[in-house]
Amino acid sequence: QRVLRVIEYYLKTKKLLSNRKKVQQFTENYDTLLLGIEMSRKTLYSRINKRVDIMLDHGLFREVQQLVEQGYESCQSMQAIGYKELIPVINGQMIYEDAVNDLKQHSRQYAKRQMTWFKNKMSVHWLDKDNMSLQMMLDEITTQIK
């Protein structure tokens, strides 16, 4: 759905949807607190795998199939994780199960890159989901914002 929206926006305006959002700029006039929730890699990867299954159950394959049928296969947005893995199945070049495994692997790799980026580039106060209850996290957040 999102890919189709981006394509439709471009066709109507001849502008990139991402450029529209660049008008909003971040200002450092505020004292900010950036919070992140971390968990064990095993837990994270299990959640990612389940999320991919849910996306497929909710029609991701049909969405990609429709976009390919409408001629959008070569669009840059079709190189996004979740789309690029399923196109070979639609084109008869790969079996569905292998594509799903690739999709899960690419999603896990992306999550790992995101964590590395956040840990190296951002000043994040991390909350450990594996060792903190929800109440403990809320208490920690309350302490941090006081």
Range 2-145 has CATH code 3.30.530.20: no
Q: Check residue 27 and give its pLDDT.
A: 56
Q: Check residue 76 and give its pLDDT.
A: 94
Q: Check residue 8 and give its pLDDT.
A: 80
Within its chain, how far is the Cα of 41 from the centroid?
A: 17
Provide the whole-model pTM. 0.74
pLDDT tens for the chain, 146 residues long, are 677 787 887 788 877 777 765 554 555 677 788 899 999 999 999 999 999 999 999 999 999 999 999 999 999 999 999 999 999 999 999 999 999 999 999 999 999 999 999 888 778 899 999 999 999 999 999 998 87
Give the residue from 125, 140, 128, 136 showing the smallest Cα distance to 33.
125
**Residue 136: φ, ψ to 5°:** -65, -40
Q: How far apart are CA 59 and CA 142, in angstroms?
A: 39
**Helical residues (DSSP H) of the chain, grouped into ranges:** 2-13, 17-21, 41-57, 60-69, 87-90, 96-121, 134-145
Q: Check residue 11 and give its pLDDT.
A: 80
For residue 86, CA distances in Å to 11, 20, 104 come to: 24, 29, 12
Q: Check residue 31 and give its pLDDT.
A: 78
